[in-house]
Amino acid sequence: MVAAQSTLDGKLYGLTIWDIYGTTWVINYNKAIFEKLGLSEPKTYADFKALCQKLLDAGIQPIYEPFSDGWHHVLWFPENGPRYEEVTSGLADELNVNKAKFADNETMLTDIQQFKEMYDAGYMGQNALSDAYADRTKALAGGKVAMILANLTFPQQVEHDYPDMKADTFGAFVIPLADNQNLNINPAGPTKFIYSGSQYVNEAKQYFDFLAQPENLQYMLDNTPEITSLPFSGLKSKLIPSQQAFLDAHTQRGTVYQTAVNYVNPQWMDIGKDLTAMVTGAMEPKDVLASIDKRRADLAKAAKDPAWNN
């Protein structure tokens, strides 16, 4: 999946060294809280809603969702791309050639309606609109919040900030909106290219070869705290056993829509504004999707995309 982002007509043009698995966005949950209340990982949205209510009834905030940064709450929508694709096969391709629209897709509508339902029910707490992403580890380390949508390696971040709270305190499950059970992967990441007109192409290729040597990749893994795995064979990752087991168990996976679908990622913060307007009653879910379509059309026309010429 990683090679695909820099491949054209079967030829690989770039070198991507990026932790695509450790940075996967999943629901991290406090296992001790779940065990105390007899909760299990949800397989459907109904399961998720029910466990959120049990947490709330027990005086535990179900989810920490920091709206104030403007970007984090958007994740609940495009990260569920594999589910949209599962329900409507080939949807991303249809969207990319202007043969389909977000506003016409029932699964997308269900996703954001359920997101609003969670907010309305108080599952994100009373201060979600002012909560900040910078406070995420503090919020989950306090034991009064059960879950957060965060990177798979969020538990390592908590342990780094609060050493008494070990990473294996947390478990993970996929985003369950719209009954999703697919693992959402974003294969895009920082990628190095060589300028074809350079007089140092051969030297640059040698540099790339140096970077891609197993011993050098392993050194990078071992000495870069924020990197826990790299998409190269033969390396020893820093994922804890439960995280590796999670990845191994989720063989049904797909690409997130901010990467699979054109003209989505550039409007990320605008989508965030619309979703905030939606949860505060200033915008309807269907209008959020229509707004995405409108911005996609504007971006496509500015790019002179032939699929939007008609």
Mean pLDDT of the chain: 96
| Consecutive H or E run containing 174 | none
- pLDDT 10s digits, 160-186: 999 999 999 999 999 999 999 999 999
In three-state secondary structure terms, 50 is: helix
The residue-averaged pLDDT of 206-211 equals 96
Q: Is the pLDDT of residue 1 over 90?
A: no
Alpha carbon distances (Å) from 298 to 272, 276, 288: 18, 22, 16
Q: Please write the tens of the pLDDT for every residue from 37-62.
A: 999 999 999 999 999 999 999 999 99
190-210: average pLDDT: 95
Report whether 196 contacts 202 (CB < 8 A): no
pLDDT digits (tens, 9 = 90+) for 149-159: 999 999 999 99
pLDDT of residue 231: 86
pLDDT class of 226 with cuts at 50, 70, 90: confident
Q: Is the pLDDT of residue 307 over 70?
A: yes
Percent of the chain with pLDDT over 70: 99
Higher pLDDT, 247 or 190: 247
Task: Give the global pTM.
Answer: 0.92
Give residue 189's pLDDT band: very low, low, confident or very high (50, 70, 90): confident
**HSE on the CB side for 234, CA within 13 Å?**
8
Give me the residue spans of the domains in the chain.
Answer: 3-18+188-235, 25-187+250-308
Per-residue pLDDT for 2 more than 80?
A: no
Tell me which DSSP letter residue 283 carries: S
Residue 41: name the closest of 228, 189, 176, 187 by CA.
Answer: 176
CB of 308 closer than 8 Å to CB of 300: yes
The pLDDT confidence band at residue 104, using thresholds 50, 70 and 90, is very high
Of the candidates 267, 285, 256, the one whose C-alpha atom is nearest the C-alpha of residue 106 is: 285
- Tokens (6 digits) for 157: 């971040």
Fold topology of 25-187+250-308: D-Maltodextrin-Binding Protein; domain 2 (3.40.190)
Query: Helix and strand tally (H, E) in the chain?
Result: 13, 10
Amino acid 15 reads: L
